[in-house]
Amino acid sequence: MVNNYDESNVEYNAQIAEKIINKIHDKGWNVYDTREHHILGGDGVIENKLAETIVTGGRYILLPMIENSNNPKAVFSKLEEVAKKMGREMPTIYVGEIETAFTGFNFLEDDVQIHCPEGFVVTHDEFLKELEDIVDVTKVF
**Average pLDDT for residues 62-66, to the nearest whole number?**
91
> What is the side-by-side strand order in the sheet with 29-33?
29-33, 58-64, 104-107, 111-115, 121-123
Give residue 109's pLDDT: 92
pLDDT at 107: 96
Name, of 13-17, 75-79, 126-130, the range with top average pLDDT: 126-130
- Return the domain boundaries, the chain: 7-140
Higher pLDDT, 131 or 49: 131
**pTM across the whole model:** 0.85
Look at residue 4 and tell me whether its pLDDT is greater than 60: no
Burial of residue 69 (CB within 10 Å: 0-12, 13-18, 19+) is middle
pLDDT over threshold 80, residue 36: no
